[in-house]
Structure 1
Amino acid sequence: MELTERQKQIIEIVKKQQPISGEKIASLLGFARATLRPDFSLLTMSGVLLAKPKVGYLINEEHSNSFFVDQIAKQRVEKVMAISVNLTKETSIQDAIIQLFLEDCGSLYVTDNLEILGIVSRKDLLKSALGENDLTKIPVGMVMTKMPNLYTVFSDTTVLDATKLLVAHRVDGLPVISRKTYEETGRKEVIGKFSKSTASRLLLDIFNKDI
């Protein structure tokens, strides 16, 4: 079950002010009580909220943990992804190293008009820096891991499935590809990244019940 933004707002209000009446919730959200009736029904029937006569709505603590975990696991990666750092294949290794440290990221995506061509990792750049190479004259296109030898996820991939890919392939991050653009043009356009850092933050959200 995927919650609407309004239903999430109702849950947050109940968490902070429970027990609270339906009328009070409606007033805080600026709606009539009748407008929110379907939302209250869904949230109580699914076990997220408890409705006690003459008391009001409360969070069902016995149900909430598994419910919040399920909600996060089923989120699409486009809702939680981080911004990707993109370079052209002509960018020098020296400039790529500078960019890596400036952005404090684990990898850089090599793109052509946002279409993914390859990935340059910290390890790739470290290997290139060894020896007496002139890093200002070597383009990242020479050392990147190229398509199709990359693992990617579509924008509508679930957080759970994306996290499984991170673990299975032992990578630090996955380029997020626009599903719409791919289906319309066949181009794998990068719109973000899903990384171990993102997965770790979501795990903390689960512990804090913060969705």
Structure 2
Amino acid sequence: MEFSERQKKIIQIVKENEPITGSEIAAKLGLSKPTLRSDLALLTMTEVLTARQKVGYIYAGKASEPILQNHLYECRVEDLMIAPVFITSEDTLKNAVTELFIRDVGSLYVINEEKELIGILSRKDLLRASLNNTDDHIPVAMIMTRMPNIVTITKEKSVLEAGDLIMSREIDSLPVVEAANPLHVIGKVSKTNIMNYFIQEGKKVEG
């Protein structure tokens, strides 16, 4: 497996300064710690680095298992994506909260009459709106996150790319859209999807 240039720099920094914290690694690279989350997660998961609580990262140098490598780099978003839950901008705050908990999802995708994505409502959005408004019949259009401030992904992208976007943008899920029509949602990939995938693949490697 070929690591990225940034991952190679992280490995070298850890070798030269172990034990070293994530914040210290980020400082040496002139980056923020959240920016390195996916890199550190990959290097830890593949056992190149070992993370020790209250100590920091230590170089382990173990080669990652081929099965895990292949899945991390070759598994595509389309293999993990699930069906999204849609609402319209005319739906009320009350309806949105009810839909979110009945469907047991972390976010709702708001579409217009042409079935195009125009907004997203997360659990945090709905909780904030419920606390700040006594009227639960206000339309979701007033509280949703609107396009173009929505991060999306296409089905051919890797799961690793999806996880990197979710972690770096600090969001719960990504709408999966058509490459030819970035407003047409065909699925959804969430933080939970990706975490479950990593756990299951890790268990396979452990035997």
Both proteins in one fold, TM over 0.5: yes
- Partner in structure 2 of residue 119 of structure 1: 120
Give the aligned partner of residue 194 of structure 1: 189
Distance in 2 separating the partners of 1:122 and 1:116: 18
The residue type equivalent to 2:116 in the other structure is E
Q: 1:173 to 1:132 in 2, by over 3 A?
A: closer
Instruction: State yes or no: 1:209 paired with 2:184.
Output: no
Q: Distance in 2 between matches of 1:142 and 1:169?
A: 22
Aligned 1:2-41 pairs, distance under 5 A: none
What is the identity, as a one-letter code, of the residue corresponding to 2:97? I
Which residue identity is paired with 1:159? V
Q: 1:132 to 1:199 in 2, by over 3 A?
A: closer
Any idea what SS the aligned residue of 1:130 has?
A: helix
On the 8 A contact 1:92/1:135 being kept in 2, the answer is yes
Matched with 1:141 is 141
Please report the TM-score for the alignment, with normalisation by the length of structure 2: 0.64
Question: Could you report, residue by residue, the CA deviation over 1:142-182 in whole angstroms, capped at 9, with x for unpaired residues?
Answer: 10000001111011111111111111111111111122xxx
Root mean square deviation, CA, Å: 2.3
Q: Partner residue of 2:45?
A: none
Is residue 2:166 matched to residue 1:166? yes
Provide the C-alpha distance between the structure 2 equivalents of 1:80 and 1:131, rounded to a whole number of angstroms.
35
Aligned partners of 1:152 and 1:131: how far apart in 2? 28
Q: Secondary structure at the match of 1:109?
A: strand
Count the aligned residue pairs.
144
Alignment of 1:33-52 (within 5 A): none
CA contact (8 A) 1:72 1:202 kept: no
Structure-to-structure mapping, 1:53-202, within 5 angstroms: 65-112=65-112, 113-131=114-132, 133-136=134-137, 138-179=138-179, 183=180, 186-202=181-197
How far is 1:187 from its partner? 4.8
Structure-2 separation of matches of 1:132 and 1:163? 33
Structure (1 or 2) with the larger CA radius of gyration: 1
Q: Is the 8 A contact 2:68 2:202 kept in 1?
A: no
1:169 and 1:64 mapped to 2: Cα distance? 27
Aligned position for 1:25? none
The one-letter code of the counterpart of 1:99 is E
For the structure 1 residues 132 and 70, does the alpha-carbon distance in structure 2 shift closer, same or farther, using more than 3 Å as the test?
closer
Structure-2 change in CA distance of 1:158 and 1:98 (3 Å): same
SS of aligned partner of 2:94: helix
In 2: Cα distance, 1:200 partner to 1:173 partner: 12
Q: Distance in 2 between matches of 1:115 and 1:93?
A: 20
State TM-score, norm by structure 1.
0.62
- 1:53 is matched with which residue? none
List per-residue Cα deviations over 1:23-49 (Å, max 9, x = no partner).
xxxxxxxxxxxxxxxxxxxxxxxxxxx
